[in-house]
Structure 1
């Protein structure tokens, strides 16, 4: 990295980096890697479907429209897509789900940009650690009058739509702060590819250009790894980490890059070494982490 923290052009020249995402979700990340000189390749491992508990989600979002919540927590871009998918099925826009007075919290900059692109205001996002823990550090207890959103019955209620595999960190943390949390399953994380009839396909106002990178099948990715032709593999989530462990091991000689501490912890729990953890869950932050990991690896191999 340059002294100012920016990624130098060509900083990854000649390096081949595997992103474990589908083309429609890897565009920005692949473009950032290519801009730094790398050759990005894709191996889709996880996908997303509408929740099997459609009635539970519909009931929660009806309560949201009725102003029964003080806060809506949007923890990922996929949450935005799931809420848009529901809205479209009801003939609504996403902005129609959130009445005036309901505050919105996000975890990372990507989810914040996605929410704001839909015409909604984000009231709270962590400045430091962009994670569930970081959001909890920034969140006020429910008895802090300045944090309680709208007045009335919904003053301490929080709606937390999330993946069926979401860790309980946010729900338990908000509960400990005195908030009344409704954690509902908004979408289901599945092995790629999802059922075409259930796959989340709602487009985002933010836009997501499909990645032009080569897409590998699992056996092709394993062959590339065995031949030493992949320099780094990026894991975007704990569920992706588990699929990497199931699909790609052994991974000797290849740097594993984690997006966020929960993903890094999951990789380590599976016995996989983490070359670097992206400090920021942004394309630029991921490129920084890849450069750091590969430079550290180079120093070890060339003392």
Structure 2
């Protein structure tokens, strides 16, 4: 596969790739692209704030710590950051909110790594389709006597699902379809960049990029990014989430010949709904997966690159 030669091999040499993430959340992606020879650029489009209703989130976490749920389902790394920030504000460690006997599910290896670094054991995470859909499919694939399908005393499993205010109903509805009693609570707000300084999520995670770590890339504003597009100086734009896809549609137009890369099928689906087409979809939301997707999308136009 051609993209296998990308890391460190200059396979994307001379390519300019726009990442639609803020500097503190794009470091690993930018480094991976730079190691592959590309020039990463940043256009921050979305950011994250604490929810105004901290009381509801705090109450849900109190019930969690008291054993009021059978499962905690974490749908994003940003959720982990929001929960850790609230726990810290209460003088607690994040892991102390998850008592013995409560099982934890998440949407893939990246979020599993972050949770485990915080001292939280993960019991269920899809390895293939790393998304809400993948977790729902994995949940329903368990044997009938597996604890996934039962709660205390054989009752429907009680599930706490903290998530973004813009979260699609896919995960909650899918778990309910499998017989779960799901309680959703808003853990954070997804907003246009930049977030209000007083509300921005800043808790640093034990794994992953610290909240204050800047990416090794030039940061553009919307007008500058559109100028680069108009001049034909951008080879690819990476959409990291459905929310980012919506902002790309609103801010970056027209894309012209610039390849659009989606991270995950939900993002690709959102792009299609907006009338945009992903030239490639990263099957895994990892820096290597993103480099591979960019390489696939640009492969047909890389006539002057060395053979892998």
- Normalising by the smaller structure, the TM-score range is over 0.9
Shift of 1:150: 6.8
* Counterpart check, 1:187 vs 2:188: yes
Provide the rounded CA distance (Å) in 2 between the counterparts of 1:296 and 1:62.
Answer: 53
Unaligned runs of 5+ in 2: 304-308
Instruction: Tell me, yes or no, if the aligned pair for 2:6 and 2:12 is still in contact at 8 Å.
Output: no
Shift of 1:132: 0.9
Tell me the equivalent position of 1:293.
297
Tell me the equivalent position of 2:128.
128
Provide the rounded CA distance (Å) in 2 between the counterparts of 1:118 and 1:77.
Answer: 12
**Cα–Cα, structure 1 residues 40 and 90, in superposed 2: closer, same or farther, change >3 Å?**
same
Tell me the equivalent position of 1:159.
160
Instruction: Tell me, yes or no, if the aligned pair for 2:43 and 2:220 is still in contact at 8 Å.
Output: yes
Tell me the equivalent position of 1:171.
172
Instruction: Tell me, yes or no, if the aligned pair for 1:74 and 1:161 is still in contact at 8 Å.
Output: yes
Provide the rounded CA distance (Å) in 2 between the counterparts of 1:82 and 1:112.
Answer: 16
Provide the rounded CA distance (Å) in 1 between the counterparts of 2:53 and 2:26.
Answer: 28
SS in 2 for 1:14: coil
Shift of 1:160: 0.5
- Consecutive aligned runs of 4 or more in structure 1 exceeding 2 Å deviation: 5-8, 140-155, 296-299
Shift of 1:207: 3.9
Give the TM-score normalised by the residue count of structure 2: 0.92
Count of matched residue positions in the alignment of Structure 1 and Structure 2: 298
**Cα–Cα, structure 1 residues 154 and 24, in superposed 2: closer, same or farther, change >3 Å?**
farther
Tell me the equivalent position of 1:225.
229
Deviates more, 1:35-44 or 1:204-213: 204-213
Among 257, 269, 272, the residue aligned to 2:273: 269
Shift of 1:112: 1.1
Provide the rounded CA distance (Å) in 1 between the counterparts of 2:24 and 2:154.
Answer: 40
**Cα–Cα, structure 1 residues 128 and 188, in superposed 2: closer, same or farther, change >3 Å?**
same
Tell me the equivalent position of 1:113.
113
SS in 1 for 2:191: strand
Query: RMSD over aligned Cα, in angstroms?
Result: 1.9
Provide the rounded CA distance (Å) in 1 between the counterparts of 2:146 and 2:108.
Answer: 26
Tell me the equivalent position of 2:244.
240
Shift of 1:97: 0.8
